[in-house]
A and B are shown apart, each in its own frame.
Chain A
Amino acid sequence: MAKKDAPPRWDRKMQQRLARGEAAALGELYDRFSSLVHGLAHTVLGDERAADHLTRDVFAHVWEHPDAYDPKQGPLRSWVATLTHRLAVQRLRATETAALAQAGQGSTEELERKVRHASVAARADYIVQSMPVPLRAALELAYFQRRDYRQTAADLGVTEDEARRRLRLGLQLLSTAHDAGAAPGAPPGYGGAA
């Protein structure tokens, strides 16, 4: 579904309303971001119930710390995605570490690989969801509908040059999912432009 970008005004007002303790604002926040939060959590954790729990943690965190979000730093959506990513990876690492300690098999390298893999997958999902609609539509046709770029151009009503440009740009954006930063608090790929 196409998501229109929330104007910064909405983000600012939402932050103020949450800070004011307005329960109705919390409901609206949930209505706007629950799919995003739950989807990312599910990609990282791979489990429905764990994703439910994490969704609760994320919204509780925002509700309890509305001032942690600074509208000047970027869209609320990216901030929520970053927060979700951080909490989900934290939880994955904690459960995997516990499992490792209990089972006594596997290695910390495997654990790290799993965490990294989940992390990249979650960023990739977010990038696809947030990329400009024309790019996503082109990738959709070329990859899922198996159209070549000329057919993609015809389907989208754009020149072949433009179709090639969109496919390349879309993949370039997507490839930034691999650029994992070392700092767990600031996973890249959740920028407003992506």
Chain B
Amino acid sequence: MNEAQRFPDRDPDRDPEEDQEEHKETQETKEPKETEGTERAKGAKGENGSRDATSGADGMSGGNGDDQRPTPDPSPDQPPRIPLPRASVEDTGRPLPALEDLGDPTPRPAPLVLEHRVLKSLLGAWALAACSTEETAAVEEHLGDCGLCADEARRLREAVGLLHPAESLDLAPSLRARVLEGCLERRPPRIPVPEWATPYDAETARLDALLQDFGDAEWHAPVRLRWFEKDEPTSRRTTVAGVIAHLLTVDGLVAIALGLEDPMGEVTADRPTPAARTDAYWRASHFPPTRAVRAPWREQTHALVRTVSFTGGGGDGGGGRGKLSVPYGDFELPLHDAMLDRAFECWVHAEDIAEAVDYPYEPPSGSDLHQMVGLAARMLPTVLSARRRAGLAAPAPGRHLVPAGEPGRSLRLEIEGSGGGEWLIPLDSPAAVGSAEHEVAHVALDGAEFCRLAAGHVAPAEAAAGQVGDRAAIRDVLLAAASLSRM
């Protein structure tokens, strides 16, 4: 922004009469300074100012009787800033005028005779240097006669100086958390966003910011969704818009549980699972999803955060709807875990999208990541026992299942880095309590790496994990973590 530099010689309070003088002067002289002034006004378009000066000068007799035919402008979309002459004497066949006649300051008729109404309508285009050569001449001629138009012309030229390329400054995603935190410290909320919903709030905001400047190319960029199924890596191809549609339909499971509208609308899935719903939604539309999916997705994310704020805060107690659970078709999750699950999925798919369009994307904040890892750690014992029943995990070495509430064989999961911590995973029964005394194995890995494992983006055998202790137990837990992933 430097309109002051662009108009160093333009005083807004200047008398319009003076400006008219300037326009007359422009027609009478070859003074390159005048061209520069206009070039500045053109701002970013100004590079061709020198050519303008040339073609403008071509048109000027300058009082030396050396009239020339105007050189056709090489690029008609870039008219010269200086008016071209009226009909050339050579065209008229009349004798060259006497030198003293050329000094006559009275304006001569322009070749293009336009109504006042038209001239006025051209002022904006003129100020932007977006008229034809002849129109520019006619306008500039007119400005010498009409104070009102000259006044407006100057105003519009000044306005052009205020235009500049929009700086697309990406806000630091962490700014949101800092700003909100600062506000809530100054005035504690009467209705807070529950702690277990803040990761979802933050992750959806981050993904929305990523989508902000996407053009059609990005929206239709191919994305490969990856997960583990039956301990094998599986994938599906879709697009960025398809991923947002996927998030919309699966978040919809939480929306339905909360009594909000199902985003699927008329579309029905044969099963209420994330995959079946996504498939049904993708199939139902005649065209692949477009950027139009962003608004309903974002509206739903806001509605979910708003609604869970009213469910009693605790999520696992408190208000009447606190015990709400969210059916996923094959299993259920308590509301607070479902919201963490959706936060996790949002981050994982945001990474898929960022990778597809080659944008950088940071992991969640430490405290949010901690909550997401905590969810996976909570889910592992149940998954382990289901896998054992299905013959996918080694049977418990003990003769009996550990009684509910008793300490049992445990694996210590140590998550390093921001948001890290330690979790003791009971291995033999979801009802058992993790116990340091019964620790049989220790796995250490980075938080983001663990989440990639749980997202099915890293094979259990390839996860960069430090391992000590019972190899079979470690293998079972890593496979169980990968099996948490789904489409």
Inter-chain contact B3/A27, CB cutoff 8 Å: no
Which candidate, A51-59, A74-82, A97-105, is the interface stretch facing chain B? A51-59
Does A85 make an interface contact (CB < 8 A)? no
- Which residues between 131 and 174 of chain B lie within 8 Å of chain A, taking CB atoms? 131-132, 152, 155-156, 158-160, 162-163, 165-167, 169, 171-172
* Chain B residues whose CB sits within 8 angstroms of the CB of A168 once the complex forms: 121, 123-125, 156
A128 to B161, CA, bound (A): 13
Task: Give the residue of B156, B165, B171, B176 whose beta carbon is less than 8 angstroms from that of A172.
Answer: B156
A24 and B301 alpha carbons, distance in the complex (Å): 11
Q: Which of A20, A25, A34, A120 contacts B162 (CB 8 A)?
A: A120
Residues of A contacting B182 in the complex (Cβ-Cβ under 8 angstroms) = 56, 59-60
Complex Cα distance A64/B306, Å? 19
A32 to B178, CA, bound (A): 16
Which residues from chain B contact A26 at a C-beta distance below 8 Å? Answer: 180, 183-184, 189
A143 touches B175 (CB 8 A): no
Within 8 A of B (CB), among A21-44: 21-28, 30-31, 34-35, 38-39, 42-43
B305 within 8 A of A: yes
B125 and A175 form a contact (CB under 8 A): no
A58 to chain B, nearest CB (A): 9
Question: In the bound complex, do residue B156 and residue A175 qualify as a contact, i.e. CB atoms below 8 Å apart?
Answer: yes
CB-based contact B178/A56 at 8 Å? yes
Q: Is the CB of A93 closer than 8 A to any CB of chain B? A: no
CB distance from A80 to the nearest CB of B (A): 13
Residues of B within 8 A of A24 (CB): 191, 193, 201, 302, 305-306, 309
Complex CA–CA separation, A126 to B115 (angstroms): 35
The answer to whether A30 and B180 have CB atoms under 8 Å apart is: yes
Q: A12: CB under 8 A from chain B?
A: no
- Nearest-CB distance from B44 to chain A (Å)? 7
Interface residues of A in 100-150 (CB under 8 A from B): 113, 117, 120-121, 124, 128, 139, 142-144, 146-150
Our pick among A60, A163, A166, A171 for the contact of B156 (Cβ within 8 Å) is A171
Of the residues A146, A167, A178, contact of B125 by C-beta under 8 Å: A167
8 Å CB interface, B184-198 against A: 184, 186-193
Closest A residue to B202 by beta carbon equals A27
A21 and B189 in contact (CB under 8 A), knowing A39-B169, A164-B124?
yes
Residue with the highest number of chain B CB atoms closer than 10 Å, among A128, A150, A165: A150
- Most chain A Cβ neighbours within 10 Å, of B78, B188, B213, B306: B306
- The distance from the CB of B216 to the nearest CB of chain A, in whole angstroms, is 13
Q: Which of B4, B12, B171 contacts A34 (CB 8 A)?
A: B171
Once the chains are docked, how many angstroms separate the CA of A134 from the CA of B360?
A: 33
Contact A34 B189 (CB under 8 A): no
Would you call B79 an interface residue if the criterion is a C-beta within 8 Å of the partner chain's C-beta atoms?
yes
28 CB contacts below 8 A, A to B, read A22-B189, A24-B302, A27-B201, A38-B169, A38-B171, A52-B172, A56-B178, A64-B186, A117-B1, A121-B3, A121-B162, A124-B159, A143-B160, A143-B163, A144-B163, A147-B77, A148-B130, A148-B132, A149-B125, A150-B132, A165-B121, A165-B124, A171-B128, A171-B156, A171-B159, A172-B156, A174-B159, A175-B156
Residues of A within 8 A of B (CB): 1, 20-28, 30-31, 34-35, 38-39, 42-43, 48, 52, 55-56, 59-60, 63-64, 113, 117, 120-121, 124, 128, 139, 142-144, 146-152, 161, 163-172, 174-175, 177-178
Given A24-B201, A139-B128, A149-B125, 8 more A-B residue pairs with CB atoms under 8 Å apart are A22-B190, A23-B189, A149-B128, A149-B130, A168-B124, A171-B124, A172-B159, A177-B159
The 5 residue pairs across chains A and B that have the minimum distance between CB atoms: A168-B124, A21-B190, A167-B124, A124-B162, A23-B189
